[in-house]
Chain A
């Protein structure tokens, strides 16, 4: 029986989805390991971040500031601001997963964009739990392994500009932002434009990392006027698409 059960588990859509996502994220891990070492981190530090920070956009943001010679405090603040969206994901997942105590503390580490998206798509608690664990484990494994691979390769190869890897970081941020630009209203696009403009305007005058923090003020625009977004879609459904 146990054998049959584990075979059917392997074929379950949740596990299949998580494997597909894990492979895709693995490629990003390669880019992260590469970027981190190019920025001056050691391979051990790159793997440490993938294992213990385990939230890609924050990791890229922190490493980007380090490579730009910016202050570590600004880099850390940027990473935490980006990581704050995981708090929203956790709020959404709490009831669905229904874990308490040590399990909840362990599960918290796996609350990221991808696990949230896969888990929220499940019909009931049992499959939500399976999907969450499968996605977190598969994706985490790929993420850490490919980070190590990218970091070690970069240490040996040296100059990476020839491989176009400097385009990978912004391309990842773009792919994460895209669903919001396409799906949300004009105000979201305005916030994005204002955020980008604020950061670029501030770049010549403040240390690296700070322009991105200043750009967060563009989000205040979301508080102006009526809550139009709420009229077009139920509020809780939003964070599935709010991948960032």
Chain B
């Protein structure tokens, strides 16, 4: 039940954030400080999410999983080759699955 409440509250918050943008006075965008900070926040958060989820450990805070890291390496390669979003995701999963089938961590 607690989980349901948390999910509903977060969903409501996410909706209000979207609505605030559509309904707010547009000159908010003109504040250079706000704009600089707000465009930088997703960069910091996404980089943190990548690092934490890539190195997520089982039973310990961080650990190295060769198959998963190999999958992410393949994703980087796909991105460098300008592959579309879908291809990048599939390549990451397929490489990780392949490495695991071969016995890599």
Contact = CB atoms under 8 A, between A and B. Distances in A.
B49 A31 contact: no
B27 to A, nearest CB: 9
A235 interface: yes
Interface residues of A, number: 106
Contacts, number: 307
Nearest to B15: A109
> A interface, by DSSP: helix, strand, loop or mixed?
helix
Given A108-B22, A174-B50, A192-B44, A164 B62 contact: no
A243 to B, nearest CB: 8
Given A108-B22, A167-B93, A222-B39, A244 B7 contact: no
A90 B41 contact: no
Given A93-B21, A164-B93, A215 B47 contact: yes
Question: Of B67, B75, B85, which is in contact with the most chain A CB atoms at under 10 Å from its CB?
Answer: B85
Interface of A: 23-25, 27-28, 31, 41, 45, 48-49, 52-55, 57-58, 60-62, 64, 66, 68, 72-73, 75-76, 78-95, 97, 99, 104-105, 107-109, 111-112, 161-178, 180, 184, 188, 191-200, 203-204, 211-212, 215-223, 227, 229-230, 235-236, 238-239, 242, 244
Interface of B: 2-4, 6-11, 13-15, 17-24, 26, 28-29, 32-33, 35-56, 61-62, 65, 67-68, 71-72, 75-76, 79, 84-86, 88-101
